[in-house]
Structure 1
Amino acid sequence: MPLKVGYVREHFSTPLLQFQDVDQNQTFTLVECPSGTGQLISRLTKDEIDVAIALTDPLISGIANGSTAYKLCGSYVSTPLNWAVITGKDTKFKDISDLKDTTIGISRLGSGSQTMAYVMALQQGWPTENLKFQINNDIRGLLNSVNNGSTSAFMWEWFTTKPFVDAGEARFIGSVPTPWPSWLIAAHPSSTRAPPDALRSFLTSLSGYVRAFNSVASREGHNVEVIKAKFGYPEEDIKAWLKTVAYPEDCLVIPSDVITNTLSVLEKAGVVKAPEGGFDLAHFVDKDIVNLA
């Protein structure tokens, strides 16, 4: 059976889509999760997918808060994610500081949009326990909420939301880059759902496409045309994004400080609470698959 790989169809997924285009043996099938990491984690929990390429912070906080639905098995993007802070086209909000004590839109509980709201609050010095959220499922629901006044703002990746801002549907009022590398890979802990040999083979092959995409030569020409064809983004936006993003040399390696540093920030933000004696990194990863560097 091919692995069911959950993903978000964004420009970050381009190497994965290139891999799928030439996967003649159909070793995996892609399952699109447009609502983001919260939906990916939900589908892992419900046994609807075997592997998820998802945001670092919700994956780590999920395990820290007791989820046994998955383990970390690899790395995908090694640079931070730039989260835009977006409000409605006609709202009174001009700056992040204006959002204190308002209701923030999120896609789902446990999503990156919620985690980063806590990080934003931490940076602003707001009490994280006072944050109020409204669940709006996807980008269209989030845009509707800031324009109908039910929420003040929401957070989403900058270049994904820029077309909506360019079209006059919303406004940027700031951004909050993640204090950690942005994407990791997680897999179902059952060897029947994610067989180790199949998972290692998938991650080894994916590494090749990631390295090719990450190369200087690809960045200077080929990547621009591929992203333009797959996503329709303006060329200047694609080039600007390519200057900010980097991928790992080997998807089968996770630097241990990615986990420890992320947990440290999440604990300060009140998203996770360390157990007595601290967190055990071995609890977060599938030791049979990934190497902790």
Structure 2
Amino acid sequence: MHLRIGYVREHFSSPLLQFAEADQDRTITLVECPSGTGQLISRLTKDEIDVAIALTDPLISGIANGSKAYKLIGSYVTTPLNWAVITGKDSKYEKINDLKDTTIGISRLGSGSQTMAYVMGYQQGWSPESMKFQVNNDIQSLVESVNNGSTSAFMWEWFTTKPWLDSGEVRFIGSVPTPWPSWLIAAQPSADTQALKQFLTTLSGHVCSFDSADSRATKNVDFIKNKFGYGEDDIKAWMKTVGYPQDCLAIPKDVIMNTLSVLDNAGVVKAPERGFTVEQFINPKVVKLT
């Protein structure tokens, strides 16, 4: 079975892009989703993709809030994601707490930019009910919104948005690392089990190669520079912060349950009376729980 793989074209996706370049049998087609995880989840729901490599928190919160469109099938990045808190170049906001009771820009409802805004609010002691959001779809519109004053700030991965910082279009007023490993893999429940396992097995090989000490010291920098245009210093700094799994077919149980605990406290999900069970979130025919 041929699989349609939804992804965000960022430096994190480098092992996936290397997989696609080496895929002579054309077992996969990459479907770019520039608006992020909210768009990935929407495309899973609409049967426009079979698999999504997406952020941990919106994937988990979507299932917790009732989505039947997908289940978790594997892991992709094992380290936290560092979310920059970004405001306009001439805005009045100087620190995160200045954003209380203002309107935060997000890409889509249920996106990582929204779930992490709730986590930021939880850390600051804000009521989830008091938080206000404006949907701006993509990063360029988010940048415009903080500069025209329609939003106070937005959150996005640090290195992805650093070019806007370097050009003076925005300012960073803080950061919020995720309290969980940042990327998981989800698939439609109807997707072919053997095709999914083969995809994850092959992806694991490319991930391990990319994650090796030799690749980190040599070819990874050139690959990311050529694909994304980032500066060499930024690439090397990012490489020091990111880790990948040895086996993309495995998910630690604690990743799911600990993420749910934080999201429950932040008001993103509401635990049922008897609590969540990890089995609600996975396709047991594919993933190995550890």
Instruction: Say if 2:173 is the partner of 1:180.
Output: no
Q: What SS is found at the alignment partner of 1:5?
A: strand
Unaligned segments of structure 1, at least 5 residues: none
Query: Aligned match of 1:238 in 235, 238, 243?
Result: 235
CA distance in 2, matches of 1:77, 1:38: 18
The one-letter amino acid paired with 1:76 is Y
Normalised to the residue count of structure 2, the TM-score between the two structures is 0.99
Residue aligning to 1:125:
125
The one-letter amino acid paired with 2:137 is N
Runs of 4+ in 1 over 4 A off after TM superposition: none
| Structure-to-structure mapping, 1:18-97, within 5 angstroms | 18-97=18-97
Residue aligning to 2:222:
225
CA distance in 2, matches of 1:92, 1:277: 45
Q: What SS is found at the alignment partner of 2:218?
A: helix
CA distance in 2, matches of 1:229, 1:169: 24
Q: What SS is found at the alignment partner of 1:62?
A: helix
CA distance in 1, matches of 2:38, 2:241: 25
Deviation at 1:225, TM superposition (A): 0.6
Deviation at 1:150, TM superposition (A): 0.1
The one-letter amino acid paired with 1:221 is T
Residue aligning to 1:163:
163
Cα RMSD (Å): 0.5
Q: What SS is found at the alignment partner of 1:87?
A: strand
The one-letter amino acid paired with 2:68 is T
Deviation at 1:23, TM superposition (A): 0.2
CA distance in 2, matches of 1:78, 1:109: 25
Instruction: Say if 2:198 is the partner of 1:198.
Output: no
**Number of residues paired by the alignment?**
290
Q: What SS is found at the alignment partner of 1:90?
A: coil
The one-letter amino acid paired with 1:78 is T
CA distance in 2, matches of 1:225, 1:141: 30
Residue aligning to 2:288:
291
CA distance in 1, matches of 2:128, 2:96: 15
CA distance in 1, matches of 2:263, 2:183: 16
Q: Percent identity?
A: 74
CA distance in 1, matches of 2:133, 2:179: 22
